[in-house]
Structure 1
Amino acid sequence: MPMVVPGVNSSMGDKSEWVNKLMGKKISDSGSDELSFAKKDLPESHRVLKPDDMKTMDHNPDRLNVHLDHDGTVRDVTYG
């Protein structure tokens, strides 16, 4: 049986691709530029999580989780 590693065997690509695109940027409803990334350009299966947000504990290896700081800047990207 092949080993499945979220973010590596994922159909959305590897985590480092999204880390490079998102880290240090803010998620915006409009367009992407040097300081922001458009929410519409995230994969269909994603969620944006602020520090105090409630979240479900279900595991979905193809879901991209974008973790924000209190100021809205991306601080981490995970799958699950």
Structure 2
Amino acid sequence: MPLVVPGLMGTGGDDKLSKWQNELMGKKLGDQSDQMTFAKKDLPQQHRVIKEGDMSTQDFNQDRLNIHVGNDGTVNKVTHG
């Protein structure tokens, strides 16, 4: 049986995460939006971009969007926390 933690899972936050995953996956971040780029100015205020191999804090902030990018700058993972 999977572990369910109140406030972390099944709260509707998955809908927001799915939206951001659909918007960002496979794109690069830039100054303007087009088919292959997402404008940084349109990201939520609480976000961080984590490059491949970068260190990041392990503190949990449920409102923060974590955008993981590869060495070429392409988004390959999006999480909350």
Q: TM-score range by the shorter chain?
A: 0.7 to 0.9
TM-score of the superposed pair, with normalisation by structure 1: 0.84
Q: For residues 4-15 of structure 1, what are the structure 2 equivalents within 5 Å? A: 4-5=7-8, 8-10=11-13, 14-15=16-17
Runs (4+) off by over 2 Å: 5-10
Q: Which residue is 1:63 aligned to?
A: 64
Q: Larger % of helix: which? A: 2
Q: Would you say the 8 A contact 1:6–1:61 is kept in 2?
A: no
Question: Which structure 1 segments of 5+ residues have no match?
Answer: none
Q: Which residue is 2:80 aligned to?
A: 79
Q: Percent identity?
A: 52
Q: CA deviation at 1:5?
A: 2.7
Number of residues of Structure 1 aligned to a counterpart in Structure 2: 75
Q: Would you say the 8 A contact 1:67–1:75 is kept in 2?
A: yes
Q: Which residue is 2:47 aligned to?
A: 46
RMSD (Å) for aligned C-alpha atoms: 1.7
Q: CA deviation at 1:14?
A: 1.7
With a CA cutoff of 8 Å and minimum separation of 6, indicate the structure with the bigger relative contact order.
Answer: 1
Q: Would you say the 8 A contact 1:49–1:67 is kept in 2?
A: yes
Question: Which structure 2 segments of 5+ residues have no match?
Answer: 1-5
Task: Return the alpha-carbon distance in structure 1 between the equivalents of residues 40 and 9 of structure 2.
Answer: 22
Larger Rg: 2
